[in-house]
Structure 1
Amino acid sequence: MESRAKAMGHGIHPILIVFPLGLLATAVIFDILYLATDRTSFQISAAQTMGIGILGGLLAGLFGFIDWRGIPAGTRAKRIGAAHGLGNVVVLALFAASWFQRLAATNWDPSAGALICSFVGIALAGVTGWLGGELVERLGVGVSDGAGVNAPSSLRRSAGRARARGA
């Protein structure tokens, strides 16, 4: 089942999601470095990467929602997609809560609550990422109808025609 929102033959959601996921994971790494070193630069870096990651997550989520709407109702893929999407809403809410707690502090100093939110958020992102992988790799969501080990480039005009997988 092909993605509904595409750019140059590929789904936009999987292209975008690497940025917020990487930024939010990097923010957690900066939190850990801050806890280990007590250096102010790490707490500021964590807050800045987190803020950009949240914005990127909202954009990626919009395209994920567009794709989810195209999944047939009553299917396992629709249920897994709903869990994936709602889980990621919770991930973004946890990171937003962490970010706003830091915003109120001097030099973005994270409170214990802010740190807990970011650590729980990244753990949940691992679960929702697995669900996203289940959607693509097991259920075929977002996979081109013409996909196969010898499929032509998605940039070719003929690539849009359906072909048998593996052909």
Structure 2
Amino acid sequence: MTRILLPLLAAVALTAATAPRPWTAVATPVASGSYLIGNPKARVKLVEYVSYTCPHCAHFTQESDATLGAMVRSGSTSVELRNQVHDGIDLAAATLARCSGAAAFPRVHAAFSRSRSNGSILPATGRRPIRRGSPAGRNSLSSPRSPKVPG
């Protein structure tokens, strides 16, 4: 009985030890203050500057998600995500994502990334953005010390 059980236990232990790790769910804090998603010892290291309110970043995420996700999942590639803050909403989203901690960061980042397909992490409000030449835009872009923005 021991002759059969011992090899069987060894095979189960070996299989469990070599099971692929879900690298897309692994985040490691790095010295720059950002998070690295994936295998920290991956041969390919990508640094992505991301804004949660940028429509171009949203487009890049949609286009590259399948390919980049497969590369990270395999353990061959890791992605360091650095925030490129464009406005107050972006700052709030970046702060929420980073302060969620290493265990939750991949899920929070993915949720913000999925929700910005329209270029914004907020639901559509029906309000139009302030344009540079509009009266509101001139007032918001100028101060007593700076000249008025030509409109």
For the aligned pair, the TM-score class normalised by the smaller chain equals: 0.3 to 0.5
TM-score by length of 2: 0.35
The structure that has the greater radius of gyration is 2
**TM-score, normalised to structure 1's length?**
0.33
More helix by share: 1
Between structures 1 and 2, the one with greater strand share = 2
